[in-house]
Chain A
Amino acid sequence: MTIGADAPGTGAPTGVAGDLADLLRRVAARDRAAFAALYKQTSAKLYGVVVRILPRGDAAAEALQEAYVRIWEKAGDFDAAKGSPLAWMATIARNRALDEVRRVRPAFLEDLCEGFEPAADEVDPLASRERSEALAALLDCLKTLDDEKRGILLLAYYRGLSREALAKRFGRPVPTIKTWLHRSLAQLRDCLAT
């Protein structure tokens, strides 16, 4: 159910992002019904972020649930000028997942490397479909990286892999991975600033 949040004359955001921003405002005012509605609209996306990094079950449950507790506590911090509500929430979920993955056996990360074929499993971010302006800008900047370096960056982001896991995956030494990451990130930063 989408409620068209058209607010003529106020310059308020419309569409889904406007709905989420409004729900976050109400959550900041301790509106429990708004929080439940926010959860229903966003939990599948946030869970999708989490299970790319953690196995399903206790670890994913812990990360997702703690993420929403943090969203409840910090809803007042959301600043619409700095990004979309979903991106803000997904970052919180991703950070909780990254914290959680450090507690999981390192062996899991090895299994993860072996088990997944990104081409088959991942939603291809470069495939054309509806996307926000921010995502379009970021994807354009990512295209300026060569395939291997872009692949390393995206795998790091989507999977939360460490330098060691990336090194193993791509067959490169760890210091190389670190250098490449820094160069790619610097390139991204400069591209996005233009």
Chain B
Amino acid sequence: MTLAPDDDFAAAEYALGTLAPGERAMLAARRQREPELDAAIRAWEARLSPLAETAPAIEPPSDYLAAIEARIRAHAPAAPADAVALELRRRVSRWRAAAIAATSLAAMLAIGFIVRETTRAKVPHEYVAILQKDAGSPAFAVTVDLDSRSLTVRPVAAPTQSGKSYELWLIDAQVGAPRSLGVISAGAVTRAANLSGFDRGVVENATYAVTVEPLGGSPSGQPSGPPVFVGKLIPVGP
């Protein structure tokens, strides 16, 4: 072994937990670039880890699993070039309290709060809707540029459907029945410019919903079933 005895003892104390905070931080940094030190720490952890079996079994609070799943979703790596979804994820993951696992409304308000915190007070022209079925399980991110009325749909974590298509709908009381915005892909970004027929206010306030349809979209021009993912627009830009 090429590791100095002092380093091996430091590794042992690191695994044990008795190093002073400064020493611990230094070793944590060193192990990133010193593989022998890293291996020594792991070896000591392995020697001591059977002691963990003697821990008493104590049930944690029942809401912890939901909070963990929310953290995992916030941490998940984004698809490449998925800039907006990634930025939203970063903002969400910085705000790691249990509230994100609460209600869908709270989650959306919280995302809006984080976004507003960091945008200067300008008139936003870019909006994003996170389409999800419940708090913390985003499936699609819809970006809308209100000036150009262009719409971009990015899959975030939507399960792929074989033999069926996802279809995006705009739902607003002013326009009456749901309006199709087209079939969207769970595996790639969909771009469309088909919001031009709607008023700015309608686009801004509508509910965006995704349903599962036969391949190619709804044959009737109306949703075949209830929405599986839903969201509303929140300003994010400029």
Which residues of A pack against B, CB within 8 Å?
A: 32, 35-36, 39-40, 43-49, 51-53, 60-61, 64-66, 68-69, 72-73, 82-84, 86-88, 90-91, 93-95, 98, 101-102, 123, 125, 131-132, 134-135, 137-138, 153-154, 156-158, 160-164, 166, 177-178, 181-182, 185-186, 188-189, 192
Contacts and interface: CB of A to CB of B under 8 A. Distances in A.
B219 interface: no
Given A48-B58, A157-B17, A82 B46 contact: yes
A83 B50 CA distance: 9
A185 B16 contact: yes
Given A43-B64, A87-B53, A132-B50, 8 more contacts: A65-B68, A84-B50, A86-B53, A88-B49, A132-B53, A137-B50, A185-B9, A186-B9
Contact of B60 (A43, A177, A182): A43
A156 B16 contact: yes
Size class of the B contact interface (CB-based, 8 Å): 35 or more
B67 A43 contact: no
Contact of A45 (B45, B48, B55, B71): B55
Nearest to A72: B72
A47 B60 contact: yes
A134 B53 CA distance: 10
B49 A91 contact: yes
A44 B60 contact: yes
Contact of B47 (A35, A36, A192): A192
Contacts of A162: 17-20
A95 B47 CA distance: 15
A156 B18 contact: yes
B18 A166 contact: yes
A131 B53 contact: yes
B227 to A, nearest CB: 22
B20 A65 contact: no
Nearest to A36: B65
A149 to B, nearest CB: 13
